Amino acid sequence: MKTIVQNIWKKKAAAATDRQKRDYSRQVAFFNRYSLLFHALLACMLVFVIEVCSRRSLIDACTFLSSHAFAFFFNALIIFFTMSVVYLFRRRMLMRIIVSCFWLLLGIINGCVLSQRVTPFGYTDLKCISDLLTMTNTQYFTKTQEICVIILLGFLIVFLVVFALKGPKFQGHPHKVRAVCFCAGMGVLMSAATTMAHNSEQMASYFANIAQGYSDYGFVYGFSSSVMDRGMSKPSDYSESKIKEITQTVAQAKETASSYTVAKSGGVVSDSSGLDSKEQPNVICVLLESFMDPTEINFLKLSKDPIPNFRALSDSYTSGYLTVPVVGAGTANSEFEVLTGMNLRFFGTGEYPYKTILKETDCESIASDLSALGYGTHVVHNNGGNFYSRANAFSQFGFDTFTSKELMNIQEYTPLGSWPTDDILISETEKALDSTPDQADFVYTITVQGHGSYPEEKILTNPEIKVSGAETEEKNNQWEYYVNQIHEVDKFIKNLTDMLSERDEKTILVLFGDHLPTMGLTDEDLKSGDIFKTQYTTWNNFGMEQKDADLAAYQLLAYTTEQAGIHEGTIFTYHQAGEYDTDSDDYQGKLENLQYDILYGERYCYDGIDKYPASDLQMGVDKTHIYSYRKNTDDSLSVYGDCFTNWSRIYVNDEKMPTTFVSDQQVVLPADYAEELETGDILKVCQVGSSNTIFRTTENAMMYYGADEAAADEADEI
């Protein structure tokens, strides 16, 4: 009887399983039969969900659908096009999930990025992942966030692997040739649709304001544009004759300007700038991270002026608004414009040239131009040398030295502990000036104290400047923290000008904000009416005339050096030869030709030669040594020398060891590792950046002879 019941149940279970398989097969067959319709619906759903994530608002996503319907469905068409790849595989459902997860993941990332900055997520940001990881355990990217990201990605990978093993396969004939033709046809259709959308001006081919572009045209289209539109397109009128025409006009203007400078200097000239080498002024250019005048914000109420020193300079020396290419983030792009005189508008959507073209080619800059006049050229920055690939970029620009945080004995940090304070940059800037006593110098100093993000909770118990007027208490806390950090930066400006005033050298100082802070400001919130406007000001100790002007970032140093009587460089003299008219099509067209020629073209402006090769960049200006070592009572080993920092690491036989920083003259090898040392081992100390990059090594190494003090004192240098 028991056996009969068991058989009945087995038959029922088998029948149920067969019904489930038949139902499942019918469902799969249904989706396969109407897969294109399914892909269209799925694409629209994905676009909507992505916009909810990106805008962090269901209402805003609905508004985008209703007010930008064409853009919404064009975004859906892009996803529909990427879905066509599923027909190349048997595991079509798996590929649908992968494509969907890909777009959803990008949308989520964009939402997270926009919670920290104004500029949305673009393709070039993928090249900055290593930079983000270097900021682990800061307010910008915490260790907890890193762990959460790793866990979530791990779950996603496990799910996809399981689905790949257990999921359904396409049972029909694959028709591979037809699938390939279909994908190719979709590619042609997508290209034609994009061209038509651009020609009809339904979709923009260029975003002057990237954040607004993503908002108006959708994340999927914006991100796709950043993938497809990289580098510079060849100008339609680019030719050797066109470049020669531009450079000849510039050369004539340069000759006229130099002659005028010579006349003013009494007829003494020894170089193309028109200045005697002894009269060349030092040029100090300081990027002020996230710096702005808080009184420019309409809704903020401040207990006192947070930037009195910057304001005093603006009242007495050349100053004005500065139009920068980014908002809330993207320091490297404002920096690129200032140092090269080139306009980011001609590059791809959201592109960072530091991460693209400068990885493979050198580029004329203010550093290489002033080097041609005999200047020493230096960079000083209290953040990582590899951040934004700066060490590489500054070499491509032709700088002589770069002192990054790894070469600094940094002890003071902001109240959150996120970023070093800027005070140390004064002594490091002076050290760079002193490193070339017989030369004029160009020093580019980059601050970091004003960097976000800014805490919503109250951090400052007794702030020097009290802030109110924001819409919430959390926003007031953020603004109060930011304003007080900017106030500290303003004190740094005063201390910097005091230091420069005490030097018996002609000097011009340029200070500029690289972008507004990441605080959700709109055009309506600002007196300037433009979130892409920051401020700049100057200072000098040799009586330069005050000539206030509103400029673009790529015009700043051309305008400043022109006032100082310096006329040098292809791009900078081009700006000086014109009227700094950013709205002129002729002005912008010629600038585009010059940029393309230098970075992507035949370099007709240099007669086809590499006129400004990359420099052999030296990290730091100090020469460092090991003097001795000592075995400590706890069996650890102290190594003594000079110019050690928190980023100093002891190397034994070229292998990096765990190292404890004690002071700028002492680092310690822990006992567990010191006990393994053997006679004949080679000791040296290196300054190490991210990705284990060795930026500087002590001038000498020492051979280990054991723990005997006498032997240590007399240890051989190598």
> What whole-number distance in Å separates Cα of residue 565 and Cα of residue 563?
5
Three-class SS of residue 511? strand
Tokens encoding 105: 């993941």
Q: Who contacts 130 (Cβ-Cβ below 8 Å, separation ≥6)?
A: 386, 690, 691
At 167-218, the pLDDT tens digits run 666 656 666 788 888 888 888 989 899 889 988 888 887 775 677 788 889 9
Res. 713: pLDDT tops 80: no
pLDDT at 506: 96
Please report the pLDDT score of residue 351 as a whole number. 84
Tell which residue, 330, 366, 365, has the closest CA to residue 351: 330
What does the pLDDT average to over 71-82? 94
More confident residue, 180 or 30: 180
The residues that bridge with 666 in the sheet, in sequence order, are 640, 663
Between 267-281, 328-342, 443-457, 701-715, the lowest mean confidence (pLDDT) is in 267-281
Does the pLDDT value for residue 439 go beyond 90? yes
> What is the reported pLDDT for 126?
75
Quick one: tokens of 250?
């510039």
- Residue 641: CB atoms within 10 Å: 22
- How far apart (Å, rounded) are the C-alpha atoms in residues 419 and 475? 21
Segment 111-134 shows an average pLDDT of 70
Contact (Cβ atoms closer than 8 angstroms) between residue 218 and residue 103: no
Q: Is 578 helix (H, G, I), strand (E, B) or coil?
A: coil
> Could you tell me which residue, 317 or 208, shows the higher pLDDT?
317
**Has residue 483 got a pLDDT over 60?**
yes
- The answer for 692, left when phi > 0, alpha when psi is -120 to 50, beta otherwise, is left
How high is the pLDDT of residue 415? 93
> Residue 351: which of 337, 339, 341, 363 has the closest Cα?
337
Q: Residue 623 pLDDT > 80, yes or no?
A: yes
Q: What is the DSSP letter of 282?
A: E
Q: What letter represents residue 708's amino acid?
A: D
Which range is most confident: 90-94, 119-123, 196-200? 196-200
Residue 549: is it exposed, middle or buried by C-beta count within 10 angstroms (0-12/13-18/19+)?
A: middle
Lowest mean pLDDT among 105-119, 606-620, 621-635: 105-119
Residue 266 reports pLDDT greater than 50: no
Cα 506 from chain centre: 33
Q: How do residues 327-368 score in pLDDT, each as one tens digit? A: 888 899 999 999 999 999 999 887 889 989 999 999 999 999
Q: Over range 563-584, report the average pLDDT.
A: 92
pLDDT of residue 249: 85
Region of poorest pLDDT, from 321-325, 385-389, 695-699: 385-389
Question: According to the model, what pLDDT value does residue 140 have?
Answer: 47
Confidence check: pLDDT of 12 > 90: no
From the CB of residue 359, how many other CB atoms can be counted at a distance below 10 Å?
Answer: 13
Mean pLDDT over each residue of the chain, to the nearest integer = 87
Lowest mean pLDDT among 134-138, 313-317, 610-614: 134-138
Q: What is the pLDDT of residue 270?
A: 42
> What's the DSSP call for residue 107?
H
Buried-exposed string 611-621: b where 16+ CB fall within 10 A, e elsewhere: ebebbebbbbb
The pLDDT of residue 534 is above 60: yes
Query: Mean pLDDT, to the nearest integer, of 689-716?
Result: 77
pLDDT one-digit tens code per residue, 588-599 = 999 999 999 999
- pLDDT for 269: 42
The predicted model gives 356-381 an average pLDDT of 96
Which pLDDT value is given to residue 330? 85
Whether 498 has a pLDDT exceeding 70, the answer reads yes
Question: How far apart (Å, rounded) are the C-alpha atoms in residues 396 and 399?
Answer: 8
Per-residue pLDDT tens for 228-251?
A: 877 899 999 999 999 999 999 888
- CA 677 from centroid of its chain's CA atoms: 42
Report the amino acid identity of residue 642. Answer: D
619, 407 Cβ separation under 8 angstroms? yes
Q: How many CA atoms lie within 13 A of 643 on its CB side?
A: 21
Helix ranges restricted to H, 404-555: 424-434, 473-501
115: its two tokens: 């919670």
Kindly tell me if the per-residue pLDDT of 41 is higher than 60: yes
Q: Is residue 197 within 8 Å of residue 74, measured between CB atoms?
A: yes
Predicted pLDDT of residue 715: 47
Return the structure tokens found at 560. 């400043």
Span between the terminal Cα atoms of the chain, in Å:
93
pLDDT at 123: 80
Nearest to 292 by CA among 489, 456, 454, 116: 489
Which among 231, 223, 205 has a CA at the least distance from the CA of 114?
Answer: 223
Q: Is the pLDDT of residue 528 over 70?
A: yes
Q: Phi and psi for 570 in degrees, rounded to 5?
A: -70, -55
Q: Are strands 319-323 and 626-631 parallel, antiparallel or unpaired?
A: unpaired
Dihedral (Cα; 150, 155, 156, 157), 10-degree rounding: 90
**Are 659 and 626 within 8 A, CB to CB?**
no
Question: How would you write 327-374 as a 3-class SS string?
Answer: CCCCHHHHHHHHHHCCCHHHCCCCCCHHHCHHHCCCCCCHHHHHHCCC
Residue 480, both tokens: 């109060």
**Backbone φ and ψ of 536, nearest 5°:** -135, 155
Question: What residue ranges in 496-542 does DSSP mark as E strands?
Answer: 507-513, 533-540
pLDDT for 265 equals: 46
Residue 378, SS3?
strand
Mean pLDDT, rounded, for 474-483: 96
Can you give the length of the chain in residues? 718
Q: What is the pLDDT of residue 35?
A: 80
* pLDDT of 390: 95
Peptide bond into 691 cis (omega under 30): no
